[in-house]
């Protein structure tokens, strides 16, 4: 069975980490019908965002959307 990280590795993604946040990991995936990750601020982005306390949690959140 594929782990969340193995599923993530089949896609284009960006990981951001801020140790000062309650959910320090952010995973960004390409938005629906969008060919690239734009890295814009949260309120402007078309990226799919997933936040979590671990990389696996953030990846699972992004993949579920």
Strands, E assignment, the chain: 13-17, 25-29, 48-52
- Residue 29 β-bridge partners: 13, 48
List Cα–Cα distances, 58 to 39, 65, in angstroms.
16, 11
CB 58 within 8 A of CB 50: yes
Mean pLDDT of 38-43: 95
Tell me the pLDDT tens digit for each residue of 3-25: 998 999 999 999 999 999 999 99
Tell me the pLDDT tens digit for each residue of 20-39: 999 999 999 999 888 999 99
**Alpha helix segments (H runs only) across 1-65:** 4-8, 55-63
pTM given for the model: 0.92
Mean pLDDT of 32-59: 95
Whose structure tokens read 């949690």?
A: 57
What pLDDT shows up at residue 1?
Answer: 57
């Amino acid at each position: 069975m594929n782990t969340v990280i193995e599923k993530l590795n089949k896609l284009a993604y960006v990981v951001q980490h801020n140790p000062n946040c309650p959910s320090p990991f952010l995973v960004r995936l390409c938005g629906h019908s969008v060919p690239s990750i734009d890295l814009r601020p949260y309120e402007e982005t078309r990226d799919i965002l997933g936040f979590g306390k671990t990389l696996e949690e953030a990846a699972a959140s992004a993949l579920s959307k």
